[in-house]
Chain A
Amino acid sequence: MSEAVALDVPAIRREPGKFWIVPPAALLALLFFYPLALIARQAFLDDSGVANAAEIFRVLHSRFFLNALINTVTISVTATAGCLIVGLVLALILAFVPFPGSGFIARLIDTFIALPTFLVTLAFTFLYGSAGMLNTGLMEAFSLPLPPVDFLYSTWGVVLAEVTVYTPFILRPLLAAFSLVDRGQIEAASVLGARPFRIVRQVILPAAVPALIAGGSLCLLLTVNEFGIVLFIGAKGVITLPLLIYGKAIQESAYQVACIIAVVNIALSLGLFGLYRFAAGRLGV
């Protein structure tokens, strides 16, 4: 068998296949990297091709930009923490305390990945909005004059919607990692008298760490880039970087300002993408 492999290697080298990569690479360069380069160009240079440090400085120090940056980071960090907690709890129950139909439920949660993100926001309007089911119910039950639940049009509304949408991205790698945990080890620990909480901490969690880190960095990336949920909440106070780019470019036609903000947003996303690739590659998820 080793002879056959040794014979095959030069045969592969002789193939003139190296240039086949050119068409898809050229398409990617023209449709993606060229527009990206133009965003950077428009951000750093003005129409006459001179660097415009003053404009960049003005945008980066403006209140609307700093607010959007702080909102984006706060929302994505909080939502990722929420996804990690909810994902871990759901995965632990699905994998180690299974019930009839738990496999089907796991697949059902998986299909949420394919649904548009704004669906959840729209549903939350009916559930928790000022005229939603929860508020109307509470007002009727306790004859309140005003809707008591008022978190939907704030950062918390966005965070809750993002937790719903992005938890499947944590659940999937966690369930894969849990399926590799040795059941005998858990049973041995429990026969020896270890409480479930201790088994989770000492046996299961160490096996879950790679999946948690990879899933968590993917969630950070996706929540930093999230647009639909924030747009549909439509709250004046909750402006994130993608929403600000949309507002500046489409509503105000301020392309240069939009490009400067886009450069910051893209840099942030690519940094998180690097983190995710590093984590996923290093930890073998």
Chain B
Amino acid sequence: MLVWSRPGRIVLWLLFALIFGVLFLAPLAVILLSSLADQWNGVLPNGLTTEHYTDVVRGSAWNSVKASLITGFLASALALVSGTWAALSLRLQGHALKRLLGLLFFIPSAVPSVSVGLGLLVAFSHPPLLLNGTVAIVMIAHFVLISAFTFGNVSAGLARLSPDFEQVASSLGARPAYRLWHVTLPLLAPYLVAAFGLSFALSMGELGATVMVYPPGWVTLPVSIFSLTDRGDIFAGAALTMILVAATLVLLLGLERITARATGS
């Protein structure tokens, strides 16, 4: 406790409530309110309605939800496999190579997502690899952008793992594949689930690269929210944003429960 006087503490708590309210609470509350607003001409909406939700669900929004969920799931699954693979096999390299490759696997997270999209357009717009205009290029863009985060999470998990278990397994005669499947991966499981959850959330909200490469039939949620608000339909945009937030939070909470059960806490 840093401030002992009660008035002093109350002043600081009020300051906290003000900053937290203005920056974090108000945006979420107002998105929720506007997604339910009937008409909004005064300070508060004139009435509440679920019309925007039924509108977006009846329209093409369901396709966006589907596109986002499928893209997020496939890109995260691929990123999980390749990130875990990279983190595990990096341990077998010499010191210098380990540092260099570790850095290279992180770089996609540092490059602006718009440039990742531009690069994919430039690289895959002609044969032999003609992917421009396909769903695959959206998946690839998401995979590239989230792969660094999965790699980072899994590497951090590996670094925290005590080497004793693997050494004991090895000294008891376990072959590398058996050791990987029955010792290392189960110990890593909580980190893998966390990495998958973060990847999925990042993919659901990804806009920069997607807006560069998406084909007409595969409009993800953020792109669809942007085109709605750009057309001036901001209430529908807010409703769709709430769907995106809810989907992301449900997913993260679900994965957290799985992790809690796996670690037995």
Please report the C-alpha to C-alpha distance between residue A16 and residue B70 in the assembled complex, in whole angstroms: 37
Question: A126 is contacted by which of B2, B9, B30, B230 (Cβ under 8 Å)?
Answer: B30
CB atoms of A25 and B86 under 8 A apart: yes
Interface of A is mostly: helix
**Contact status of A190 and B123, CB under 8 A, knowing A111-B252, A122-B234:** no
* Residues from chain A with Cβ under 8 Å of B108 in the complex: 28, 32
CB atoms of B244 and A116 under 8 A apart: yes
Question: B13 is contacted by which of A25, A99, A117 (Cβ under 8 Å)?
Answer: A99
CB atoms of A24 and B167 under 8 A apart: no
* Residues from chain B with Cβ under 8 Å of A127 in the complex: 26-27, 30
Which residues of B1-18 have CB atoms within 8 Å of chain A's CB atoms?
A: 1-4, 8-9, 12-13, 15-16
Please report the C-alpha to C-alpha distance between residue A189 and residue B206 in the assembled complex, in whole angstroms: 48
Chain B 170-188 interface 0/1 with A at a Cβ cutoff of 8 Å (1 = within): 1100001000000000000
Which residues of A14-39 have CB atoms within 8 Å of chain B's CB atoms?
A: 15, 17-18, 20-21, 23-25, 27-28, 31-36, 38-39
Which residues of B46-69 have CB atoms within 8 Å of chain A's CB atoms?
A: none
Question: A112 is contacted by which of B24, B34, B121 (Cβ under 8 Å)?
Answer: B24
CB atoms of A105 and B12 under 8 A apart: no
CB atoms of A24 and B86 under 8 A apart: yes
B222 within 8 A of A: yes
Please report the C-alpha to C-alpha distance between residue A98 and residue B12 in the assembled complex, in whole angstroms: 10
Please report the C-alpha to C-alpha distance between residue A206 and residue B49 in the assembled complex, in whole angstroms: 52
Question: Whole-angstrom distance from the CB of B16 to the nearest CB of chain A?
Answer: 5
A115 within 8 A of B: yes
CB atoms of A35 and B105 under 8 A apart: no
CB atoms of A225 and B31 under 8 A apart: no
Question: Whole-angstrom distance from the CB of A279 to the nearest CB of chain B?
Answer: 14
CB atoms of A32 and B144 under 8 A apart: yes
* Residues from chain B with Cβ under 8 Å of A118 in the complex: 207, 222, 225-226
Question: B238 is contacted by which of A122, A225, A270 (Cβ under 8 Å)?
Answer: A122
Question: A24 is contacted by which of B85, B112, B202 (Cβ under 8 Å)?
Answer: B85
CB atoms of A231 and B207 under 8 A apart: yes
* Residues from chain A with Cβ under 8 Å of B241 in the complex: 116, 119, 122
Question: B101 is contacted by which of A21, A36, A262, A269 (Cβ under 8 Å)?
Answer: A21
Question: B3 is contacted by which of A12, A97, A246, A269 (Cβ under 8 Å)?
Answer: A97
* Residues from chain A with Cβ under 8 Å of B263 in the complex: none
Segment of A60-68, A85-93, A145-153 engaged in the interface with chain B: A85-93
CB atoms of A17 and B82 under 8 A apart: no
* Residues from chain B with Cβ under 8 Å of A163 in the complex: 23
B122 within 8 A of A: yes
With an 8 Å Cβ cutoff, the count of chain A residues facing the other chain is 91
* Residues from chain B with Cβ under 8 Å of A192 in the complex: none
Nearest chain A residue, comparing its CB with the CB of B234: A125
* Residues from chain B with Cβ under 8 Å of A207 in the complex: none
Please report the C-alpha to C-alpha distance between residue A86 and residue B21 in the assembled complex, in whole angstroms: 13
Chain B 229-265 interface 0/1 with A at a Cβ cutoff of 8 Å (1 = within): 1100010011001001100110010000000000000
A156 within 8 A of B: no
Question: Whole-angstrom distance from the CB of A222 to the nearest CB of chain B?
Answer: 9
A108 within 8 A of B: yes
CB atoms of A122 and B248 under 8 A apart: no
Question: A17 is contacted by which of B30, B42, B89, B225 (Cβ under 8 Å)?
Answer: B89
Chain B 63-94 interface 0/1 with A at a Cβ cutoff of 8 Å (1 = within): 00000000000000000001101101110110
Kindly list 13 other residue pairs between chains A and B, CB separation below 8 angstroms, not including A28-B147, A35-B119, A246-B114.
A28-B108, A31-B144, A32-B107, A32-B108, A32-B144, A38-B123, A96-B1, A109-B24, A120-B27, A122-B31, A164-B24, A249-B118, A258-B118
Measured CB to CB, the residues of B under 8 A from A are: 1-4, 8-9, 12-13, 15-16, 19-20, 23-24, 26-28, 30-31, 33-34, 40-44, 82-83, 85-86, 88-90, 92-93, 101, 103-108, 110-116, 118-124, 140, 143-144, 147, 167, 170-171, 176, 198, 201-202, 204-208, 211-212, 222, 225-226, 229-230, 234, 237-238, 241, 244-245, 248-249, 252
5 contacts between A and B (CB under 8 A): A24-B105, A34-B123, A96-B3, A231-B211, A242-B114
